[in-house]
Amino acid sequence: MDLGRLRALDAIATYGSVLAASEALHITPSAVSQQLAKLDRETGTRLLERDGRGLRLTDAGRILAGHAARVLSAVDEAESALAAYHEEVTGTITVAGFATACRGLLPPALADLTARHPQLSVRIVETNPYEAMDALTRGRADLAVADDWPEIGLVLPPGVAHTTLGHDSADLIVPSGHPLAGSPPGPLARAAGERWIASPPGTICHDWLLRVLPGVQPDFLVGEFETQQTLVAAGFGVALIPRLARASTMPGTAVVPVDPLPTRRVVIAWRKATEVRPALGAAVAALREAWARRSTFTD
């Protein structure tokens, strides 16, 4: 059976529709449908059937899809092993990372990586850690850069390995004229009654805030930490900003020391099946170097 057709079937089983499968495979919906039709003929079996406006796998289709996933995983391992044998840093590598890493860490790391290995093509996908792990397991990303707060505990899927890149602390940021400005270190709970500016629901930073300050209901839900700081400077509320997300204290704001200091772990994760791939090792090394060179403002 043709591997391209098995990839199309695996994508349908994973994403549930021809359109979503085509986006994951970077081909047209028509091409996905053609591959599936050829696989039907190739196997002499009806693998999909109409379900309203969409398609669903038949019993035979589910059986073959299960085998296809294992076959494609074995192919990934074989390609990685061959690449390691040749010790060539080539091909394409897709990195999924959280927003702060995409802005402050990935650009210098991947610029160095592609300069050293011009035959390597790099793609970046900005996403939160939950979606990054999903992209990793589904093969939509080769490497994930994620943040992990100890109070949350990011769950790594089966078959995924990881290493800790470092730790990033966060500070309570308030308007410069705020009563807490200039105060000695204290617990974050003393700001529980403030108007909060926070990351949107579904992000790990939002989940963390609600875990450590139960009952807090942020008035402003903003994905970009720079925008959060701008709102703080305008006097709309307070925010907890990781140091990796800011190079200095924004005018109109003040840093309030928090004790104990909120700290998140930054990890790099990848599928174990591809860990011998030279491009993966080169990317991890570049990220480590970029982390070591990052602004001294961060811890």
Which residues have CB under 8 Å from 178's CB, separation 6+?
A: 238, 254, 256
* Top-confidence residue, 242 or 83: 242
Is 235's pLDDT higher than 50?
yes
Domain boundary among 38, 60, 85: 85
Q: Tell me the average pLDDT across 279-291.
A: 93
Is 296's pLDDT higher than 50?
no
Q: How confident is the model at residue 220 (pLDDT cuts 50, 70, 90)?
A: very high
Do both 140 and 28 map to the same domain?
no
What range defines the domain where residue 254 resides? 168-263
Quick one: pLDDT at residue 299? Answer: 36
Is 287's pLDDT higher than 80?
yes
- b vs e for 169-206, b when ≥16 Cβ sit within 10 Å of the residue's Cβ? ebbbbbbeebebeeeeeeebeebeebbbbbbeeebbbb
Quick one: pLDDT at residue 293? Answer: 86
Mean pLDDT of all residues in the chain? 89
| Structural domains of the chain, count | 3
* Top-confidence residue, 293 or 194: 194
- The H or E element that residue 148 is part of is strand 143-148
Domain boundary among 52, 85, 118: 85
Return the amino acid letter for 100.
T
Q: How far apart are CA 241 and CA 123, in angstroms?
A: 27
Do both 155 and 119 map to the same domain?
yes
Quick one: pLDDT at residue 86? Answer: 63
Give 102-122 pLDDT, tens digit per residue: 988 999 999 999 999 998 999
Q: Tell me the average pLDDT across 36-50.
A: 88
**64-68, 143-147, 266-270: segment of lowest average pLDDT:** 64-68
Q: Is 86 helix (H, G, I), strand (E, B) or coil?
A: helix
Is 298's pLDDT higher than 70?
no
Q: How far apart are CA 3 and CA 240, in angstroms?
A: 48
Is 230's pLDDT higher than 60?
yes
Q: How far apart are CA 241 and CA 239, in angstroms?
A: 6
In-domain check, residue 299: no
Indicate which CATH number applies to the domain containing 232: 3.40.190.10
Entry pTM: 0.71
pLDDT over 90 percentage in the chain: 53
In-domain check, residue 298: no
Q: Is 34 helix (H, G, I), strand (E, B) or coil?
A: helix
In-domain check, residue 74: yes
What is the CA 165 to chain-centroid distance, rounded? 14
Q: Is 108 helix (H, G, I), strand (E, B) or coil?
A: helix
Do both 126 and 186 map to the same domain?
no
Do both 60 and 207 map to the same domain?
no
For residues 125 and 107, the answer to whether their CB atoms sit within 8 Å is no
Give 68-94 pLDDT, tens digit per residue: 888 888 888 787 777 765 677 888 999
Give 260-276 pLDDT, tens digit per residue: 999 999 999 999 988 88
- Which token pair is 23? 């986006």
Place of tokens 């995409």: 102
Do both 204 and 249 map to the same domain?
yes
Indicate which CATH number applies to the domain containing 7: 1.10.10.10
Q: Report which DSSP code applies to 294.
A: S
Q: Give the phi and the psi of residue 84 in degrees, each rounded to 5.
A: -65, -35
* Top-confidence residue, 80 or 204: 204
The β-bridge partners of 94 are 123
Quick one: pLDDT at residue 21? Answer: 86
In 3D space, the residue among 15, 238, 206 whose CA is nearest the CA of residue 98 turns out to be 206
